[in-house]
Chains A and B, each alone.
Chain A
């Protein structure tokens, strides 16, 4: 099955700096890669996603890049703010066979310090 590795497990940045979280996946058939944000005590929520026919996607201060050859994808947050502090999860989904199973990474605790 799919295996998703996520690094780093914790990340501290100064407010205004950029943050980068990286994930690798094992199944070359995976073609959908979402990122979820989970604030303390809350439910995970989708913040951005990318499909394998696209190399990069941006939404205001967040962007995701995908390298299918190397089987890795990254989340970039620019101009970080205190409200960006949360746990971020990457995930991957195999695209064929009717299966609908997202495999999540182990999460990155991002702390934005004032």
Chain B
């Protein structure tokens, strides 16, 4: 089934550890995004990529890094996890055409707990 896949589904992590959340899509969408969802704060954009080889910062980029080596993959890395990064992380993709945002297709989410 075509779509967007995230891994892991959930993870408990000790503070200070490095963690990479994986995201893969098979819809050939050029744009990909990482959001975090926290109760009462909605969905906040961490980083995005309009096309392979380019990335940009969202609203809350500090403590996170991304790479976009190819069209399909967009991993999110926490270099040294802190408890405030406990959240549900959603990866999304869209067929962005430069002048019009396409529908965002979200993954199932990755629940991360940092202790």
Interface residue ranges, A against B (CB under 8 Å): 1, 6, 9, 32, 34, 36, 43-46, 49, 89, 93, 95, 98-107
- Are B48 and A100 touching (Cβ within 8 A)? yes
Asked, given contacts A32-B100, A44-B90, A98-B50, whether A104 binds B106 with beta carbons under 8 Å apart, the answer is no
Interchain CA distance A95-B99 in the complex, whole Å? 7
Interchain CA distance A98-B96 in the complex, whole Å? 10
B22-57 interface (Cβ within 8 A of A): 31, 33, 35, 40-45, 48, 50, 56
CB distance from B59 to the nearest CB of A (A): 7
Sorted nearest first, the 10 A-B pairs with minimum C-beta distance are A43-B106, A106-B42, A104-B43, A100-B96, A46-B103, A104-B42, A107-B42, A93-B101, A44-B106, A100-B50
Task: Tell whether B58 is near chain A: CB-to-CB under 8 Å.
Answer: yes
Interface residue ranges, B against A (CB under 8 Å): 31, 33, 35, 40-45, 48, 50, 56, 58-59, 90, 94, 96, 98-101, 103-104, 106-109
- Are B43 and A44 touching (Cβ within 8 A)? yes
Interchain CA distance A49-B107 in the complex, whole Å? 20
- Are A89 and B42 touching (Cβ within 8 A)? yes
Closest to B107 in A: A43
Closest to A2 in B: B59
Among A95, A101, A107, the one with the most B-chain Cβ atoms within 10 Å of its Cβ is A101
Asked, given contacts A101-B48, A102-B101, whether A45 binds B106 with beta carbons under 8 Å apart, the answer is yes
CB distance from A40 to the nearest CB of B (A): 12
Interchain CA distance A106-B41 in the complex, whole Å? 5
CB contacts (< 8 Å) of B103 on chain A: these are 34, 46, 49
CB contacts (< 8 Å) of A100 on chain B: these are 31, 48, 50, 94, 96, 101
- Choose from A45, A93, A103, A107 the contact partner of B59 (Cβ within 8 Å): A103
